[in-house]
Amino acid sequence: MRKLAALLLILVVVGIAGDGSWGAARRNSRTVRRERAENQRQSRRTRERIQVNIEQTERELLRYERLQAEIARSEESIAILQPRVDSLRRHSAALADSVSRTGARVESLQRSYAESLRAIRRQRQISSPAAFIFASESFSQAWRRLRYLRELARSNRDKGRRLKEEKERLEAEQVRLDSIRNRQERAVALLERRRETLRRQSADSEQLIASLRAQAGNLNSIFARQQQQSRELDRELERALEQEAEQARRIEAERREAERREAERRREAERRRHERDSIAAARRNNSGTVVPAPADGARPQPEPEPEPAPSPARPVALENLTAAFEGARGRLPMPVSGNAVIVNNFGRRAHAEFSRVEVQNNGVDIDAAAGAKAKAVFDGTVSMVIVMEGYHNVVLVRHGEYLTVYAGIDNLEVRKGQHVSAGQSLGTVRTSASGNARLHFEVRHEKEKLDPQSWLR
């Protein structure tokens, strides 16, 4: 009986456990799908938030870079204005001293001239000039009195003239002093505005850099992507230049081959002519008579020389274009229209604020206004147009042995092989997702990378 009760108890427990497992299995199969869908949504939202954060960080980074460039321009402007203000102050002080000295001379002359006039009036009150002369006791005394009156009159005239000249000089110096002081005031006001702008820019920069330092992870990914894009651009340019060099070598080899064949043809024609002449001379020597004409009555005619084979076309005035571009060093215009500023310079260096980040730039990066045009800086030919991620369209313009590179162009307006003139539009500077219009610009002497800032004016 006890065994039967124990068996029934076991069966009941197993049944209850089985029902619970089946219910749990049914609940798990339903919730797994819901959890999987929810995880996918969460993952998608996380990726979107990360992308938004990265884009926000990139906008702040681009704004910071432009702000740093504007600060540099403000500092340069202040450095130019400060000596001018100092010079105006020195000039104003010197001119003020001159005005003071001239004013003192005018006052002294006025006193002397007034005293002379009073002396003359006193003399006239005593007697007239004629009576003064005729009252002399002798001729020599009369002559001395006459000479005295003449010298007195001349002295008064000289004092009057000098007084007039000094007054005119004083007025002119006063006008110049007023003008210098006005210029000084304007220069000081401009200098103060630039300094205030610089203070405001520096404060904004400090806030931006503090915000960026708090986003180190995003910054690292942005810098890594930028450097990766730069390396890919460099590889593409190296490949394009190698293709151009290979094509040039092939054209040169074809030209040399054509010249070699032409030389061989000429040598063969010369050999045949000598052979005919030798045979004809031998026949004349053997018979002592003119060699008879062939049986058909026709005289042997020299073979006509064929036209020389055309050689492949070579670049026209290549050396002239190279020399002209070299002569424009330091005088090339900015490669974008409107207001533009260089935000990233040429070369390898540590980042100005993030010392652990090393930046390699084979050209310069130029911030421009939205809708600005990318422009050729010199006459040349479009040798290549490359489409690549991060830069969209990349245009290479050849100027003899030199090349200029324009990376980041939308609405392309030129094609490969097209001649372009200095200032001609190549397309619109591409506006990135962060809202910045930025052009990457390079100057190369074949494969040698040059600093574009030493070429731009």
CATH number at residue 353: 2.70.70.10
Of 153, 185, 213, the position where a domain reaches its end is 213
The model's confidence at residue 297, banded by pLDDT at 50, 70 and 90, is: very low
| Residues 205 and 340 reside in one and the same domain | no
| Residues 77 and 203 reside in one and the same domain | yes
The pLDDT value recorded for residue 95 is: 75
Residue 433 has pLDDT above 70, yes or no: no
Residue 20 has pLDDT above 70, yes or no: no
Q: Which residue has the higher pLDDT, 351 or 411?
A: 411
The model's confidence at residue 355, banded by pLDDT at 50, 70 and 90, is: low
Residue 18 has pLDDT above 70, yes or no: no
In a domain, 354, yes or no: yes
Residue 162 has pLDDT above 50, yes or no: yes
Residue 341 has pLDDT above 80, yes or no: yes
Q: Which residue has the higher pLDDT, 166 or 22?
A: 166
Q: Which residue has the higher pLDDT, 182 or 330?
A: 330
Residue 309 has pLDDT above 50, yes or no: no
Reported for 90-99, long-range contacts at CB under 8 A and 24+ positions apart, including other chains, are 91/180, 92/177, 92/180, 92/181, 92/184, 95/173, 95/176, 95/177, 95/180, 96/177, 98/173, 99/170, 99/173, 99/174, 99/177
Domain with 366 in it: 329-454
Of 178, 213, 248, the position where a domain reaches its end is 213
In a domain, 64, yes or no: no
Average pLDDT over residues 247-276: 86
The pLDDT value recorded for residue 129 is: 65
The pLDDT value recorded for residue 223 is: 75
In a domain, 266, yes or no: no
In a domain, 115, yes or no: yes
Concatenate the DSSP letters of all residues of 280-340 into one string.
HHHHHHHHSSPPPPPTTSPPP-PPPPPPPPPPPP--TTHHHHHHHHHHTTT-BPPSBSSSE
Residue 314 has pLDDT above 50, yes or no: no
Among candidates 341, 383, 384, which has minimal Cα distance to 364?
Answer: 341
In a domain, 6, yes or no: no
In a domain, 222, yes or no: no
Residue 305 has pLDDT above 60, yes or no: no
Could you tell me the pTM of the whole model? 0.60
Residues 357-409: pLDDT tens digits? 677 889 999 988 888 999 999 999 999 899 988 888 999 999 999 999 999 99
Average pLDDT over residues 342-363: 76
Per-chain mean pLDDT for the chain: 76
In a domain, 203, yes or no: yes
In a domain, 260, yes or no: no
Average pLDDT over residues 125-144: 68
Look up the CATH number of the domain holding residue 155.
1.10.287
The pLDDT value recorded for residue 127 is: 58
| Residues 335 and 202 reside in one and the same domain | no
In angstroms, how far apart are the furthest CA atoms of the chain?
A: 188
Average pLDDT over residues 130-134: 64
Domains: count for the chain: 2
Average pLDDT over residues 68-88: 77
Residue 327 has pLDDT above 80, yes or no: yes
The pLDDT value recorded for residue 454 is: 92
Of 213, 246, 281, the position where a domain reaches its end is 213
